[in-house]
A and B are shown apart, each in its own frame.
Chain A
């Protein structure tokens, strides 16, 4: 089953009186349980496409189906909230952890908001933090962690929701090369061992080495696809 089906997707930004085309007639089918990478130079439209896949931006023109037949291009705000809450995990370039909460609480926060039982929350947090090797650091707050540790906690936060896909926007861009590589190893393991679907955007060659299924974008259009997408 397809994770995403994209049909003639266009997206425009309004910059003052001018309209800027960020995506131009994108049509793709992204399979589930794979690690996929959207790559391309800055301004190619990869972050915009990622935002559309994650329902952070709403579809303007075209069709976008998620998890088979969920039409994201025609979805109400409450339903979009629900999908983001339960089916999509996010990992951001600058982590976006809550400074006032420790690692455990950061991961647990959205689980509590799902209304899960305390025992299940604990179980999921423990699993997710162990999966990214951060259980021992669970009482640390973000400002007490390195960049790599923060990104691991962010991944754990996304993973703990048990989502259908994790969307990661330039997840290594704020990290040094070695730490970035460690993060990509974590993603690879999660994909390989847990069958987790991942959509990553990056222009970092190291990331591309870990991710053979690539969509290369340029000027808002698909330039090439590789791996299972070919």
Chain B
């Protein structure tokens, strides 16, 4: 009977009830979509980091990343083939990319520019590192003598596709060595600092250039991002002479800080939305409750306790909150798949130079969170609005108009 009474009370002022429902729905929908947008942006950042530079994780000799060495190659991985074979057996690891970084001078005709070389397995890496954004030419794949230049570096060298570029570097023994490469493409990752100096060549030629069989690191591609814990656990048990580092740590300045910044921003906007929803509901519900003082007086005169009346009003607010939150989630899903179905074209994020598309990625777990927040906000504002009326003495409530 109490529930029927509560439901009918809600239908008594349909316009006001709708206003409250849509206030809650607006808040929940906005939170849901905004969180989906944030997730989309963070996933874009993550993909950019993972698929243009680091993979999901990187393996080095223990302590290699902790300090700067005079002769870093002395701390490189001496038997990369055995390590690669072992890494491929880890559950969750899909691909393995042995790599090395080295400093070199690049010469194109009369222009010489310093750069940072990456020796990579071109054929394997081209399958995974697909956000490298090869602007001109083609990605490094099976071309034995090919070199892929960062956009800024190519501009500095005035290099065109097909040009022969000489790469000169110190061998691990201290002598000077040089090899010729053919420019096959120009890439940009969006990070200017990276694109201005980095070039890529095949790993065997890089090893020949530096006169070593070692590799500096082995990057890993997982089946999915969430595999980190699983891989890390197996790695710790089986490969104790190496250390593994996740991409968030490898790219702390760009990715981790961006994610932290976005999450803080989201927290602030979430608070603002909740305050707006709270005040909107509080205003509507207060008006509604104050108009019902005589009815509340009648309930109290007939033996209903303050707590009974408080519960009745909260049931009404709770019902509004539940309906509003459900409508809000529905609106969130609808808008995401219609108006925002094509994604949102975003300007370059801090630290990168290219624009990107963000798709709203709604999260089921956050749906529950937004639903609870919206419904809870409605319940809380109803409870606060009800307190004053519930505290009134019966005679005053009955006398009110």
Chain B positions 1-44 with a Cβ under 8 Å from a chain A Cβ:
1-2, 4-5, 8-9, 11-12
A90-B302 in contact (CB<8A): yes
Chain A positions 50-95 with a Cβ under 8 Å from a chain B Cβ:
51, 54, 56-57, 77-78, 81-86, 90, 92, 94
CB distance from B309 to the nearest CB of A (A): 11
Given the contacts A96-B297, A99-B12, A100-B12, A112 and B1 also touching, CB distance less than 8 Å? yes
Q: Which of the candidate stretches B216-224, B259-267, B390-398 sits at the interface with the other chain?
A: B390-398
Enumerate chain B residues within 8 angstroms of A100, measured Cβ to Cβ: 5, 8-9, 11-12
B304: interface (CB < 8 Å): yes
Cα separation A41 to B12 with both chains bound (whole Å): 38
B101: interface (CB < 8 Å): no
CB distance from A38 to the nearest CB of B (A): 16
Enumerate chain A residues within 8 angstroms of B301, measured Cβ to Cβ: 54, 56, 84, 90
Enumerate chain B residues within 8 angstroms of A109, measured Cβ to Cβ: 1, 5
Partner of A96, one of B294, B305, B308: B294
B8-A56 in contact (CB<8A): no
Enumerate chain B residues within 8 angstroms of A101, measured Cβ to Cβ: 5, 8
A57-B395 in contact (CB<8A): yes
Partner of B398, one of A92, A99, A112: A92
B295: interface (CB < 8 Å): yes
B126: interface (CB < 8 Å): no
B303: interface (CB < 8 Å): yes
Cα separation A66 to B394 with both chains bound (whole Å): 19
A194: interface (CB < 8 Å): no
B298: interface (CB < 8 Å): yes
A96-B5 in contact (CB<8A): no
- Convert B378-401 into 0s and 1s, putting 1 for each residue whose CB lies closer than 8 angstroms to a CB of A: 000000000000000111001000
Cα separation A105 to B9 with both chains bound (whole Å): 14
Cα separation A101 to B2 with both chains bound (whole Å): 11
B398-A84 in contact (CB<8A): no
Enumerate chain B residues within 8 angstroms of A210, measured Cβ to Cβ: none
Enumerate chain B residues within 8 angstroms of A99, measured Cβ to Cβ: 12
B303-A86 in contact (CB<8A): yes
- Convert B211-251 into 0s and 1s, putting 1 for each residue whose CB lies closer than 8 angstroms to a CB of A: 00000000000000000000000000000000000000000
Tier of interface size on chain B? 20 to 34
Partner of B305, one of A51, A78, A83: A78
Tier of interface size on chain A? 20 to 34
| Other A-B pairs, 17, CB within 8 Å; known A57-B395, A86-B303, A92-B398 | A57-B393, A81-B303, A85-B304, A90-B298, A92-B298, A96-B294, A96-B297, A96-B398, A98-B295, A100-B11, A100-B12, A105-B4, A109-B1, A109-B5, A110-B303, A113-B303, A113-B308
Cα separation A56 to B5 with both chains bound (whole Å): 23
Residue of A nearest to B302 (CB): A110
Cα separation A86 to B395 with both chains bound (whole Å): 19
- Convert B307-342 into 0s and 1s, putting 1 for each residue whose CB lies closer than 8 angstroms to a CB of A: 010000000000000000000000000000000000
Enumerate chain B residues within 8 angstroms of A56, measured Cβ to Cβ: 301, 394-395, 398
Given the contacts A54-B301, A85-B303, A113 and B398 also touching, CB distance less than 8 Å? no
Cα separation A99 to B8 with both chains bound (whole Å): 9
Cα separation A81 to B303 with both chains bound (whole Å): 4
Chain B positions 68-124 with a Cβ under 8 Å from a chain A Cβ:
none
Cα separation A93 to B306 with both chains bound (whole Å): 23
CB distance from A54 to the nearest CB of B (A): 7
A108: interface (CB < 8 Å): yes
A96-B298 in contact (CB<8A): yes
CB distance from B182 to the nearest CB of A (A): 84
Enumerate chain A residues within 8 angstroms of B302, measured Cβ to Cβ: 84-85, 90, 110, 161
**Which residue among A82, A113, A161 has the maximum number of chain B CB atoms within 10 Å of its CB?**
A113
Chain B positions 252-307 with a Cβ under 8 Å from a chain A Cβ:
294-295, 297-298, 300-306
Residue of A nearest to B303 (CB): A85
Q: What 5 A-B pairs are tightest by C-beta distance, nearest first?
A: A85-B303, A100-B8, A84-B303, A96-B298, A112-B1
- Convert A31-59 into 0s and 1s, putting 1 for each residue whose CB lies closer than 8 angstroms to a CB of B: 00000000000000000000100101100
Cα separation A101 to B4 with both chains bound (whole Å): 9
Residue of A nearest to B1 (CB): A112
A-B contact pairs, 10 of them (CB 8 A): A54-B301, A57-B394, A78-B305, A84-B301, A86-B303, A92-B398, A98-B295, A101-B5, A113-B303, A113-B308
- Convert A123-161 into 0s and 1s, putting 1 for each residue whose CB lies closer than 8 angstroms to a CB of B: 000000000000000000000000000000000000001
Cα separation A86 to B303 with both chains bound (whole Å): 8
Partner of A113, one of B1, B11, B294: B1
Cα separation A96 to B398 with both chains bound (whole Å): 9
